[in-house]
Structure 1
Amino acid sequence: MIKINTTNIRGDLTGGLTAGIVALPLALALGVASGLGPMAGLYGAIAVGFFASLFGGTPSQISGPTGPMVVVLAGLFASLSGDAELIFTAVLLAGIFQILFGILGVGQYIRLVPYPVISGFMSGIGAIIIILQLGRLMGHEPPGGTLGALSYLPTALADINFTTLALGIGTLLIAYKWPAALGKFVPGALAALIIGTLASLMLTNVPILGDIPTGLPSLHMPVFEQGQIFLVVEAAFILAVLGAIDSLLTSLVADNMTRTRHDSNRELVGQGIGNTVAGLIGGIAGAGATMRTVVNIRSGGKDRISGMTHALVLLAIVLGLSPLAAQIPHAVLAGILVKVGLDIIDWGYLRRAHTGPRWDFALMVLVLGLTVFVDLITAVGVGVVLAALAYVRQVAQLQIEEVNKIPEYLADEEENALLERAQGKVSLFSFGGPLSFGAAADLGHHVREKVKPGSQVLILDFSRVPVVDVSAAMAVETITADATAGGRELVISGASPAVTKVLDNINVHQPNVRMFATRLEALDCALRIIEDRKKTNPVSGNGKLAEA
């Protein structure tokens, strides 16, 4: 049930108004960068901003077009030769995917993406945004795609329009250096937009946005073409995942500032509804926007009304001020977008990277490179897989270290007394933590190496193991086979019902393998086995089994 909190109405209206003003130049710039035009940016900001606030799980969050989403859209625009209807279909499908993510509870897993991966692809996205704007700063319209924009740079450098370059750099400087005192009244990005546009009126040969339609958007029903359906669905999925990650990261920022806790899955549903509506009305995809959310909170916004107000402010601008927006130069928007790109790059981590683990930094650089030169989903997929494998390796090393620690003395006096009575004929291995496939490959080898030469009984203690997987169970079966081949008895102790079930299913718990609830019982059983062997096989003076 949607609950609208009106206890902070004044702060929410102020925050929403301020966020709407900040969002205006960014929505226009990101709309142009996507290839779909400035109005698509505004329509996307209105739809996602309003419905994500109304239905989402982070009351103070402001949503709208963001750099990462626009990078995907720009690539799709180039791949589909500018077919707007197919792109809006991808936006709509992305919204549906996000709604499904929320219903299925995927939000809790998206938040598990490792920081170096997030840092790498966010920095890569920032680099892409900057690369795509370099040609526009020099007065050119480069071809779509990062590689296309990079290959076009020599051409642009050979024919620089110094008027547009000066205008773009001036806009960038204003956005960065705008005094904080004035920023309380007019945000830096908006000031840069206004000043840059006014300055361009006194200049010639400066490309501008041109005619922008005024009024309410038209309905865009989804279109499916057999030859392009895979490309559209793939882009929709990338948009959905990227938007989910972007939104939930912004939600964490909002939580830290407001001392609240967001609902991840509800937030995904809200974002999904917003993007679905955006696709229907011809808007670009959006997500939780960190800068706009921070501006909203600092201006007093705390609840849903602030995000909805921000969207209504943009709607009012669309209905009345479109003719003025037509005079905005491309170079001015390029300058604003360069700032957006620079802000997205994770400078904080890059400055401290040399003090942290080298592997994490290498992973970040790899993901950054894949983001810029391959594609986002490959970058995130490879990054997550490598990070997961590195984590599994670390855990496996800890598990193997535990295996290698054969206790010479046990803390429990009764257990220790039984171990001493065994006189080296019992090898005890105590596993620690979840026993996973990461350790399974070397488990049998390490146990085989550490078994005492004169051991007659092998005890595997699972007291500290909450779960095992199939790979670990198969490794235990290998240990069982080795023990049988070496003439040793195998005893398992401390296995929980969950662990016992897995071992039974893999047939590790064979009839000749004894299982006990405690280590004390296992040691007692081991001594009985040794005594029985003494009776049936007399030993020689050197303690070795006598030859028959």
Structure 2
Amino acid sequence: MPLSSDPARAPWWHLLVPKLFTVLAQGYRLDDLKADALAGMTVAVVAIPLAMALAIASGATPDKGLLTVVVAGFLISALGGSRFQIGGPTGAFVVVVFNVIAQHGFDGLILATLMAGAMLVLAGLLRLGTLMKYIPEPVVVGFTAGIAAIILLSQVKDFFGLMPGELPGDILGRLGGLWAARDTLDLPTLAVAGGGLAVILLLRRFGPRVPGFLVCVVAGGLMVWGLDLPVDTVGSRFGSVELGVPTPTWPEVSLARLAEMLPSAFTIAFLAGVESLLSAVVADGMTGRRHRANCELVAQGVANSASALFGGLPATGAIARTVTNIRSGGRTPVAGMLHALIVMAAVLLAAPLIAHVPLASLAAVLVVVAWNMSELGRIRQLMRGPWGDRLTLVVTLGLTVLVDLTVAIEVGVVLAALLFMHRMSELVALSTGGPMIAEDVDDLSGQPRPPYVAGGLPPGVEAFRLSGPLFFGVASRIADLLDSIAGRPRVFLLGLDGVPMIDATGASKLADLAAKCRRHGTRLILTGLADQPARVLADMGVLELAETAPDFEAAVAGLGEG
């Protein structure tokens, strides 16, 4: 069945159709395959060292990262809602994965990732993809920069070859432990790491098309092997790296276990959803295409569930690899699928060589990843913004580094929501345009609020006008309107022509106002109701408690006739 070209007439399930289906339906040519194969190979070269480095930083073994690229990377491209999305492990997961493994073991990570996958599928089916785009940028930048700082700190040990022993879990304790071990600095390790970092930075400056991560890893391995340097390698710490045919494993499941892993699962789902949609938005901006957000969430859910069942790590859309795919000429989701297959083939053929990769070289890779994640330019820009955004960014960043990623996300989103409500409340004006939520001193002044119309009203008639959205953040003051004016008016006109929307709380408070007017023997007339407020007030029975008029003039004329 062809997809409808008219979004208004398209059934809801069209939002869940993978882009791969669209591409194949439109026709896939040999030229497309050539372009996708070249892009897939380029991205695979970037993905191999990055996947190993991220897995090690997450407290897992290198093969887990490579397995995630193969399983999740293939499914994200095959089932996703973006033509260009490249999926796999990313730096955003490092902190949460490390903590889950440390506290609950790898079996706990599998369960948390399975739960996160189910959450993402459900979010996509409920069409929540658009809502996830509304996460405030200060929250995203704050926790991303916090994760970058933690990743950077986690690589100090391998970058400098320190031997601090068992490090505490908290950041300040880790800093103290690393500083105490400064005398154990290993110069050969530092030389390999520093040389690898220099290679990456120089290639980015003078040879941006050369895969700097891969060159860093290969050059570091040759340096350690050729000079016989006593530097830790993947093989010396983890043994051989093998990517055989994985078999699905099901974790231990119980209600207590599910409750225990719920916060971690929520964090994984949140990160996977937000980062994948951010990556898709970046791809849209570069190509002029449009992704299907809800389809992308479903694909992320399926991919994360499959990755967990086969022993992999959480995955999401990777912005840097997606951009690499686009710049390398990738045209369709086939490029991402080929990238996963190429990684699998490369690991199967070169598994013995991977054991010789120095951990110092992978530390250099992650230092660059952390620096890119920090986005200092965006931080500087946001710190010039309104005070509320600055506060949200700083609090989210600080909680990410010092407390916990889940707490940081929750507090950041709640703080941003509170600030949003405060800003919205400032848009709601009463009568002469003063802010509806006033300081306490205004309530204690004892002065009546100025009426909507200075004169020309019959005796015993008071009129006020509201403008702006009447939502729960400001609705609590509605019921106080009658008490804010002098005496007990015979008629109370409330102009709502400037109110574009009313939520349930606002309607409930209007009902309270109507009930208070009835008790005082005051007629309440609501004027100028727009469609949405009228519908909400009618559905909630508020219009049965008050009179209505199409506008203020009609209400006044009706009083004269009465």
Q: TM-score category by the smaller chain?
A: 0.7 to 0.9
Amino acid at match of 1:291: A
Give runs of aligned pairs for residues 231-310 of structure 1, distance below 5 A: 231-310=260-339
Q: Which residue of 1 aligns with 2:156?
A: 134
Shift of 1:479: 4.0
Q: Distance in 1 between matches of 2:504 and 2:257?
A: 41
- Residue 176 in 1 paired to residue 209 in 2? no
> Does the CA-based 8 Å contact 2:431-2:451 persist in structure 1?
no
Please tell me whether the aligned partners of residues 144 and 373 of structure 2 are also in contact (alpha carbons under 8 angstroms). Answer: yes
Query: What's 1:111 paired with?
Result: 133
Q: Secondary structure at the match of 1:468?
A: coil
Higher deviation after alignment, 435-444 or 133-142? 133-142
Unpaired runs of at least 5, structure 2: 1-16, 435-449
Give the SS at the match of 2:179.
Answer: helix
Give secondary structure in 2 for the equivalent of 1:467: coil
State the distance in 2 between where 1:114 and 1:493 align: 36
Q: Please give the alpha-carbon distance, in whole angstroms, between the structure 2 residues aligned to 1:159 and 1:216.
A: 38
Would you say 1:49 and 2:83 are equivalent positions?
Answer: no
Q: Separation in 2 of the partners of 1:486 and 1:195?
A: 86
Per the alignment, residue 109 of structure 2 pairs with: 87
Is 1:463 matched with 2:497? yes
The superposition leaves residues 89-129 of structure 1 with CA deviations (integer Å, 9 ceiling, x where unpaired) of: 33333323222221121211111101111110111111111
**1:23-64 Cα deviation digits (max 9, x unpaired):** 111011011112221111000011111110000001111111
1:318-467 to 2 correspondence within 5 Å? 318-401=347-430, 404=433, 421-422=456-457, 426-445=461-480, 448-449=483-484, 451=485, 456-467=490-501
Kindly provide the CA deviation profile for residues 239-284 of structure 1, in whole angstroms up to 9, marking residues without a partner as x. 1221111111101100000101100110111122222221122221
- Structure 2 partner of 1:521: 554
**If the length of structure 1 is used for normalisation, what is the TM-score?**
0.86
* Displacement of 1:474: 4.0
1:271 aligned partner, one-letter code: Q
Check the 8 A contact 1:135/1:149 in 2, yes or no. no
State the Cα deviation string for residues 472-517 of structure 1 (Å, max 9, x = none).
2343345446656776543222235653565467665566x43223
Report if the CA contact (8 A) 1:63-1:287 is conserved: yes
CA distance in 1, matches of 2:357, 2:474: 61
Distance of 2:276 and 2:34 partners within structure 1: 25
**Whole-angstrom distance in 2 between the partners of 1:233 and 1:74:** 16
Corresponding residue number in structure 1 for 2:38: 14
Larger mean CA deviation between 101-110 and 318-327 belongs to: 101-110
- Give the Cα separation in 2 of the matches to 1:380 and 1:373: 13
Which amino acid in structure 2 is aligned with residue 373 of structure 1? L
Residue 196 of structure 1 is aligned with which of 220, 227, 230? 220
Give, as a single letter, the amino acid of the residue that structure 2 aligns with 1:11. Answer: A
Question: Structure 2: how far apart are the matches of 1:86 and 1:232?
Answer: 7
Change (3 A) 1:474 1:342: same
CA contact (8 A) 1:133 1:337 kept: yes
1:163 aligns with 2:188: yes
1:133 alignment partner AA: Q
**Does 1:102 pair with 2:124?**
yes
Q: Is the 8 A contact 1:209 1:329 kept in 2?
A: yes
2:192 and 2:220 in contact (8 A); partners too:
yes
The one of 215, 223, 230 equivalent to 1:205 is 230
CA-CA distance at 1:84 after TM superposition: 2.9
CA deviation profile, 1:400-441 (whole Å, cap 9, x unmatched): 3567466777xxxxxxxxx96426754322222321111122
Return the alpha-carbon distance in structure 1 between the equivalents of residues 322 and 170 of structure 2: 29
Bigger Rg over Cα: 1
The SS at the match of 1:284 is coil
SS in 1 for 2:234: coil
- Give the 3-state SS of the residue equivalent to 2:181 in structure 1: helix
Q: CA deviation at 1:179?
A: 4.8
State the distance in 1 between where 2:249 and 2:461 align: 74
Q: How many residues align?
A: 515
Gaps of 5+ in 1: 410-418, 530-548
Q: Is the alpha carbon distance of 1:144 and 1:178 closer, same or farther for their aligned partners in structure 2, counting shifts above 3 Å?
A: farther
- The residue type paired with residue 389 of structure 1 is L
Q: Which amino acid aligns with 2:193?
A: G
Letter in 1 for 2:386: P
**TM-score (normalised: structure 2):** 0.84
Q: Specify whether residues 286 and 50 from structure 1 end up closer, same or farther in structure 2 by C-alpha distance, changes over 3 A only.
A: same
Are the aligned partners of 2:117 and 2:304 in contact in 1 as well (CA < 8 Å)?
Answer: yes
Change in CA separation of 1:160 and 1:50 when aligned onto 2, cut-off 3 Å: same
Q: Which moved more, 1:391-400 or 1:165-174?
A: 165-174
CA shift, 1:229, in A, is 4.2
RMSD: 2.7
Query: 2:87 matched to 1:69?
Result: no
| Cα distance in structure 2, aligned partners of 1:407 and 1:48 | 63
- Residues 430 and 467 in structure 2, CA contact (< 8 A), matched pair in contact too: no
Alpha carbons 2:482, 2:517 under 8 Å: kept? no
Shift of 1:327: 0.7
